[in-house]
Every structure is written in C-alpha cells, then in structure tokens.
C-alpha cells in the first residue's frame, strides 16, 4: 500500500525475478531436484496462504503461493528487498522501517530487517530479530520476542510470548505466555513435518513454527509445537499443548 507508485511495477518485477532465480538455485542441486523441492511443490498445490489468511499484506502477494516454511525461511531476504520501496510515511534507518503512526514503548530491541505498518503498538522490552513484518494495527505486548515471522493486521500478541518462524493471520489473539515454538531441541532428528488433510509432509527444514488462520484464539500459556497448522477460527485452550506430529514422527533414512 505504501510502495512508491511510479516504480512499483518495475520493482515488483525485480523482486519476482530475484525470487525465481533463488528458487531455481534451491531446487536444483547437481542436476537433480531435491526431495524438499518435490514436497514444497506438492504442498503449493494443496496448502495456500489465502485459505488461512483472507487478505495477505499487499507487499507479500507476490509470495503467497509459497509453502509457509519457504516464506519464513527467506523472510529476512524478502523484507530487505521490500524496505527500499516503502513510501515517505515510513521512518527507515539501518534496515528498520516503522510507519510514522506506530507507537514504540521504551526498551524495545529491533534487529534488521523489520517493517511495522501503520497504527501498530509495540510494548516495552519486546524483541524482534531475523526478519519481522507487522501488519496494520498489530499489538505486541511487553517482553515478547518475535523471530522471522509475518504477523497480519489487527492481531494481538499479549505479553511474555515467543513467536518463531511463523505466519500469523488477521485478528488472531495470543494470550499471555502462549508461544509458537520453531525448533525440536529435544529430538535427535530435528526435521519438521506438518500434518495437513491427514497427510504428513516433510518441510525439509529444522526451523518452522506455525501457520495460524484468521480469527484464531490461543489461550494463556498454550504451546504450538513446531509445524502446527491451524485453520481459521481455531481455538487453543489455556495450558494446551498442540503437537500434531507427536504420534507420527518420521525419521529420515538419510
């Protein structure tokens, strides 16, 4: 919405071209298509962000057909390329772009790249790193950490939360202490699988948090295990652990 209109089409095309070249290099290794690429291609046919998020932020529509774990893995690079195209409504400094209407309380740490759209509220002592995008009117409470994540409009992350390598839809509420974990520290094989429509799919990555659909509610101290997929209007009870792969852990024979 805040891209400079005269150059937007050209720059969007440049971003698309960059992504196409990057994807090709990832998906081709020694002349062979990797297993990760095959799984990602299959998932792109079945799982699309628009089924979970009704209105993807305009600057991400180029990437909305990516598998969620592909988007979070490359979010840092994507945001770096978006920032130079933002309009004068943003204060941009050292890879951090904050709309002039945003409220930032004391003690906040922001590491590049980072974008906060209009009317966000960022609570005291919160921490952002490795590529974070906050949509319009997002509320981040005190002492919350967000890493490599896309948080869509009107979502509230209360306080004392952790959101890692995740895509969170619109009008979602995370109560105090709830987290989206992104890594299986306790497992020898840390590869993350997701469950969608009864299928277990290998993401090919070791860090991916959650895809949470619009209007979902995550209760206080709830835990979304790595690879959690929640459809629109999902409810996670207080103190609930969501582990969609605990009974069907796959071991990579390689």
Q: Are 242 and 224 in contact (CB under 8 A)?
A: yes
pLDDT at 197: 87
The reply to whether 252 falls in a domain is: no
The reply to whether 251 falls in a domain is: no
Q: Are 41 and 23 in contact (CB under 8 A)?
A: no
| CATH at residue 27 | 2.160.10.10
3-state DSSP assignment of residue 199: strand
What single string gives the DSSP state of each residue in 220-248?
TT-EE-TTEEE-TT-EE-TT-EE-TTTTS
The reply to whether 127 falls in a domain is: yes
The reply to whether 247 falls in a domain is: no
pLDDT at 41: 44
- 97's CB contacts (< 8 A; 6+ apart) are 83, 86, 90, 91, 113, 114, 115, 116
pLDDT at 21: 58
The reply to whether 143 falls in a domain is: yes
d(CA 82, CA 137): 19
Tokens linked to 47: 């799982």
pLDDT at 4: 35
Per-residue pLDDT of the chain (254 residues; tens, 9 = 90+): 333 333 344 355 665 555 555 554 444 333 333 444 444 445 445 788 999 999 999 999 889 889 999 999 999 999 999 999 999 999 999 999 999 999 999 999 999 999 999 999 999 999 999 999 999 999 999 999 999 999 999 999 999 999 999 999 999 999 999 999 999 999 999 999 999 988 899 999 999 999 999 999 999 999 999 999 999 999 999 999 999 986 544 434 34
The reply to whether 248 falls in a domain is: no
pLDDT at 19: 56
Total domains in the fold of the chain:
1
pLDDT at 14: 61
d(CA 74, CA 186): 25
Chain CA centroid to CA 113, Å: 13
Q: Are 195 and 202 in contact (CB under 8 A)?
A: no
**Residue of 99, 119, 121, 159 with catalytic role:** 159
197: annotated active-site residue = no
What is the CB neighbour count within 10 angstroms for residue 39? 18
The reply to whether 54 falls in a domain is: yes
Full domain range(s) for residue 217: 5-242
The reply to whether 60 falls in a domain is: yes
């Amino acid at each position: 919405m805040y891209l400079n209109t005269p150059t937007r089409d050209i720059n969007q095309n440049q971003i698309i071209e960059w992504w196409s070249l990057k994807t090709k290099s990832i998906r081709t290794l020694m002349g062979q298509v990797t297993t990760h690429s095959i799984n990602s291609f299959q998932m792109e046919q079945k799982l699309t962000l628009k089924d979970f998020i009704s209105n993807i932020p305009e600057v991400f529509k180029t990437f909305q057909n990516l598998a969620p774990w592909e988007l979070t893995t490359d979010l840092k690079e994507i945001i770096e390329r978006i920032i130079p195209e933002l309009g004068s409504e943003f204060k941009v400094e050292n890879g951090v772009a904050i709309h002039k209407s945003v409220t930032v309380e004391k003690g906040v740490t922001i590491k590049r790249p980072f974008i906060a759209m209009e009317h966000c509220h960022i609570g005291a002592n919160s921490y952002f790193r490795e590529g974070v995008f906050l949509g319009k009117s997002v509320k981040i409470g005190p002492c919350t950490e967000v890493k490599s994540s896309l948080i869509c409009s009107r979502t509230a992350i209360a306080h004392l939360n952790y959101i890692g390598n995740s895509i969170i839809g619109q009008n979602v509420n995370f109560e105090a202490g709830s987290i989206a974990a992104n890594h299986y520290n306790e497992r020898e094989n840390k590869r993350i699988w997701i469950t969608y429509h009864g299928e277990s799919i290998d993401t090919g990555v070791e860090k991916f948090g959650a895809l949470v659909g619009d209007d979902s509610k995550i209760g206080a101290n709830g835990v979304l295990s790595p690879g959690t997929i929640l459809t629109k209007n999902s409810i996670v009870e207080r103190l609930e652990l969501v582990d969609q792969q605990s009974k069907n852990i796959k071991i990579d024979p390689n």
